[in-house]
């Protein structure tokens, strides 16, 4: 699939924002969040800013962005509509949580639970948009939802660690939790890549054309494509990335997105006398580069079944 930059930015930016809200909500429920005006204010502005920037960017690839509001009406059948509703609904507990955490000496436990559930629910609906698309084998599998549910809190937690160190408001056990989430994120992506590399979709040129079934052993290949020149379908649904480039980008995603940030955060834990920002800031920046690379591959490596009509032997 053609990787639209607006969608890549949307999924990475809003994913980090919702991930940060979910982590904040869990810590608030446990009573581990300190009350510091500038820390809490900055954290909420950044989290909501990431979400808002991502949501706005998601409309840029639409032919008629002014009609985006119509998507909310299809919540019974569309995961895209459910995502939009959840994304907007999450603002309510998030804003209430922020106001109480920043300005009022009251408990944020209940609001924290609601906010965390809504944030994770939004990530779930985003993942289900892709998980529900049966013609795309790279997306229609059991590994997509866990990846989204892990990578969002992972990116949010690491950036929250940076903010807590920047404002000298340490959050208990956050560094070890970041390490656990980085390990879980790497595991989820490794399982996803192993699955898509070792399997293919149920359709084949034989089944797509009705000239035979895969188990029959009939070999069907295309000798003439539907079009003599590139068209929209070939550009958007037949985007190809060379295998060697894909492997190289996966390596970048693994090292920059998971391994090196994990080593840096572990170093910050083992050297408490050193300013942790020296390690945490580069870790967060590298992680962001790795996640953007991972998300680009998520779209670029996906193959639509329609390409079976254009010479592809599997999808």
How wide is the angle at C-alpha 236 spanned by C-alphas 194 and 81, nearest 5°?
80
Would you kindly state where each structural domain of the chain is located, as residue ranges? Answer: 5-310
Per-residue model confidence (pLDDT) at position 87: 95
More confident residue, 213 or 266: 266
DSSP code string of 183-240: HHHHHHHHHHHHHHHH---S--HHHHHTS--GGGT-----SS-S-SS--HHHHHH---
Query: Would you say residue 189 has pLDDT above 80?
Result: yes
Per-residue model confidence (pLDDT) at position 315: 66
CA-CA distance, 220 to 37, in Å (whole number)? 67
Q: Quick one: pLDDT band at residue 312, thresholds 50, 70, 90?
A: low
Place of tokens 């994120």: 185
- CATH domain 5-310 topology: Formate dehydrogenase/DMSO reductase fold (1.20.1630)
Q: Categorise residue 33: left if φ over 0, alpha if ψ from -120 to 50, beta otherwise.
A: beta
More confident residue, 212 or 267: 267
Q: Which of 6-15, 232-241, 294-303 shows the lowest per-residue confidence on average (mean pLDDT)? A: 232-241
C-alpha separations of 205 from 134, 164, 167, 195, 212 in Å: 16, 55, 59, 21, 9
Residue 137 has pLDDT above 80, yes or no: yes
Convert the pLDDT of each residue in 14-31 to its tens digit: 999 999 999 999 999 999
Task: Give the tens place of pLDDT for each residue, 88-109.
Answer: 999 999 999 999 999 998 999 9
Categorize the per-residue pLDDT at 75 as very low, low, confident or very high, splitting at 50, 70 and 90: confident
């Amino acid at each position: 699939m053609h990787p639209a930059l607006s969608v890549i930015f949307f999924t990475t930016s809003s994913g980090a924002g919702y991930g940060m809200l979910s982590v904040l909500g869990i810590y608030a429920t446990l009573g581990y969040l300190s009350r510091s005006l500038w820390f809490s204010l900055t954290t909420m502005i950044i989290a909501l800013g990431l979400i808002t920037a991502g949501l706005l960017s998601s409309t840029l690839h639409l032919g008629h962005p002014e009609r985006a509001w119509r998507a909310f009406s299809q919540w019974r059948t569309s995961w895209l509509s459910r995502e939009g509703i959840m994304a907007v609904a999450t603002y309510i507990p998030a804003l209430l949580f922020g106001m109480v955490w920043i300005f009022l000496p009251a408990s944020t436990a209940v609001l924290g639970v609601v906010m965390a559930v809504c944030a994770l629910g939004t990530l779930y609906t985003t993942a289900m948009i892709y998980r529900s698309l049966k013609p795309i084998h790279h997306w229609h599998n059991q590994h997509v939802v866990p990846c989204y549910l892990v990578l969002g809190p992972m990116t949010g937690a690491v950036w929250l660690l940076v903010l807590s160190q920047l404002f000298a408001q340490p959050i208990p056990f956050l560094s070890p939790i970041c390490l656990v989430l980085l390990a879980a994120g790497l595991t989820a992506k490794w399982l996803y890549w192993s699955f898509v590399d070792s399997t293919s979709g149920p359709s084949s040129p034989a089944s797509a054309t009705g000239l035979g079934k895969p188990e029959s052993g009939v070999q069907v290949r295309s000798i003439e494509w539907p079009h003599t020149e590139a068209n929209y379908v070939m550009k958007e649904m037949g985007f190809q990335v060379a295998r060697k480039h894909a492997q190289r980008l996966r390596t970048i995603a693994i090292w920059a997105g998971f391994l090196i940030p994990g080593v840096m955060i572990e170093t910050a834990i083992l050297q408490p006398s050193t300013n942790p920002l020296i390690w945490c800031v580069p870790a967060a920046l590298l992680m962001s580069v790795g996640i953007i690379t991972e998300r680009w591959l998520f779209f670029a490596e996906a193959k639509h079944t329609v390409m079976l009509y254009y010479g592809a032997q599997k999808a």
